Amino acid sequence: MCGIVGLLVKKPQLREQLGSLMMPMLIGMTERGPDSAGLAVFTEALPEDQRKYSLCAPEWEYDWAGFEAEFIRHFGTEAAIRTKGNHAVLTCDEPAASVRPWAARVFPDLHVLCAGRQVDIYKDIGNPADVAARYDFDTLTGTHLVGHTRMATESAVTPDRAHPFTAGEDFCLVHNGSLSNPYQIRRKLEPLGIRFDTDNDTEAACRYFEWRMREGDDLESAIRSGFDELDGFYTFLMGSREALALVRDAFACKPAVVAETEDYVAVSSEYRSLARLPGVKNANVFEPVPEEIYVWRVS
Amino acid sequence: MEGVVNVAPEAKNRLTFDLAAQPLRELNRFLHHDLAGTGVTHVDVINPDGTHNIAVGVDAPVRIDVDGHAGYYCAGMNKLAQVNVNGNVGPGVAEGMVSGTVHVKGFASVSAGAAAHGGLLVIEKDASLRCGISMKGIDIVVGGSVGDFSAFMAQAGRLVICGDAGDALGDSLYEAVIYVRGKVASFGADAHEEPMSDADFAAVEELLARARIKHDPKQFRRVASKRELYHWNADADQEY
């Protein structure tokens, strides 16, 4: 069991409230996922030539100033770093192709959670309320987000195995369910040079979809090809630069419910985590049907 | 009866439970243990907000009105009670019901009426996958459509579908009967359409009336078991 939540605000003035609107949704999914929690938030886009990287350190007290100094020394370029305990967001004009291998070599204890122009990720082990307080989820702003509360079944309870997972840039995925062929997917992708950070089944799905999109699929056709390739139970909720996307497997064993108003689209595993949203009593509430792809775009 | 609030002084037989202010256990404990002898015949549940297990295991002829959306297993194992939900319900509504009525104004998630022995379950809108799975005598009326694998291994009882049915309708049916008005995406193993008899039209008319859903019984078709799976057929293609 796990809990998934997603929120996309339709009005620009609501972007400041994105985190605070989401908070009761995530907390409401505590029973479905009490061992870890995480969240990916999509913010205003950086300029074309800039990138940001969410980083996770093994300890709460981490020498981020030392990391930043080493980054500037190595790349000889400007960088800005925003820190929150063991998490930091590094903004710079270096591409992922140079930052990722450098970080893996010089700071092997750091985990690069995501890269892109819009996405920030925070994830850690612990009760969702504690994780949310740790990273001030209620203050997050942006256009849309995906969140997750984890009850681990397929791999260990560690920060890097918490959801969301990411691949490529500005793409992330959370999952309720379990895949039965993640190693088959890995054996297909690894020879193509695609590297995995963990042994988690969800990471396989995330990297599969991102690979399909790099091969030219749009999000919908990537998901559709997953119907044949991904075996198992899933409700997937994905975030990309411009959209939230939701899909459930053919058997729909893993729940999902959507509430849509003029102000927002909210997705959750269960209605009880949507019940605190303003105006939800008059929202269009529906249960997504299996193998239908739902995409909501940022307006 | 701590925390129980009378909605109106004159309504001595009517109680309200506010699940935003009271834990679910207070409601269910009242229904299981304290109801008898109070004279209460009507319980209102407000702010259900998707809570699981609302009014499960009730064994009394009481009316329970849930004003909002319920979570998993609402009115599961119901006996005698009349449970009305003015909203949607999560998975397993009225699962294992024995008798009484459960009436849902909205839609139902998966496994509505699963393995239920009796009573009437009405879902005014759609029911998701596996509606009536392994039903054992319950009557279910769905005002909308049902998802895939509905009435899977259904043993007894009747399932009336006013809309369409998904794939594998009635797979491995026993003696339950399905009446469907709309399209059937596909039949499951051993399920097929049969002619409607006068008794079938009368059954549909009676069930629609009890569900307070208006349709012409003449628009329904009967789906029942071919009973071929009842006996081992060594000559069948062993392709599963």
User: Catalytic site residue A253?
Assistant: no
Whether B55 and B28 have beta carbons less than 8 Å apart is answered as: yes
CB proximity A291 to B under 8 Å = no
Nearest CA among A144, A190, A201 for reference residue A15: A144
Do residues A250 and A151 both lie within one domain?
Answer: yes
For residue A32, report the phi and psi dihedrals to the nearest 5 degrees.
-80, -20
Domain contains A124: no
Q: Are B128 and A252 within 8 A, CB to CB?
A: yes
Q: Are B129 and A290 within 8 A, CB to CB?
A: yes
For A47-60, write each residue's pLDDT tens digit: 999 999 999 999 99
Q: What is the pLDDT of residue A153?
A: 87
Tally: H helices and E strands in chain A: 7, 16
Facing B49 at nearest CB: one of A252, A255, A272 = A272
Do residues A77 and A219 both lie within one domain?
Answer: no
CB proximity A270 to B under 8 Å = yes
Q: What share of chain A is helix, strand, coil (3-state, %, to 5)?
A: 30, 30, 35
Q: What is the pLDDT of residue B3?
A: 45
Q: Which domain holds residue A285?
A: 2-45+138-297
Domain contains A211: yes
> What is the distance of C-alpha A105 from the center of its chain?
25
Do residues A270 and A156 both lie within one domain?
Answer: yes
Whether A39 and A149 have beta carbons less than 8 Å apart is answered as: no
- Rounded to the nearest angstrom, the minimum Cα separation between B29 and chain A is 21
For B118-133, write each residue's pLDDT tens digit: 999 999 999 999 999 9
Do residues A171 and A244 both lie within one domain?
Answer: yes
Q: What is the pLDDT of residue B215?
A: 98
Nearest CA among A145, A159, A133 for reference residue A62: A159
A52-66, B9-23, B147-161: which has the minimum mean pLDDT? B9-23
Beta bridge partners of B84: B65, B103
Do residues A165 and A93 both lie within one domain?
Answer: no
- The sheet carrying A144-150 orders its strands as A119-125, A36-42, A144-150, A2-9, A264-268, A257-260, A284-286
Place A156 in a pLDDT band, splitting at 50, 70 and 90.
very high
CB proximity A176 to B under 8 Å = no
Domain boundaries, given as residue ranges, for chain B: 1-123, 126-230
Task: Show the DSSP H helices in A33-178 as ranges.
Answer: 64-75, 96-106, 128-134
For A187-210, write each residue's pLDDT tens digit: 999 999 999 999 999 999 999 999
Residue B156 has pLDDT above 90, yes or no: yes
Q: Pick from A86, A117, A148: which residue ends a domain?
A: A117
Do residues A254 and A177 both lie within one domain?
Answer: yes
Do residues A72 and A144 both lie within one domain?
Answer: no
Do residues A15 and A60 both lie within one domain?
Answer: no
Do residues A162 and A282 both lie within one domain?
Answer: yes
For A238-256, write each residue's pLDDT tens digit: 999 999 999 999 999 999 9
CA distance A194 to A188: 9
CA distance A283 to B69: 12
Domain contains A75: yes
CB proximity B49 to A under 8 Å = yes
Facing B50 at nearest CB: one of A253, A271, A290 = A271
Q: What is the pLDDT of residue A261?
A: 98
Residues 6+ apart with CB under 8 A from B177: B157, B158, B159, B200, B203, B222, B223, B224
Please tell me the total count of domains within chain A: 2
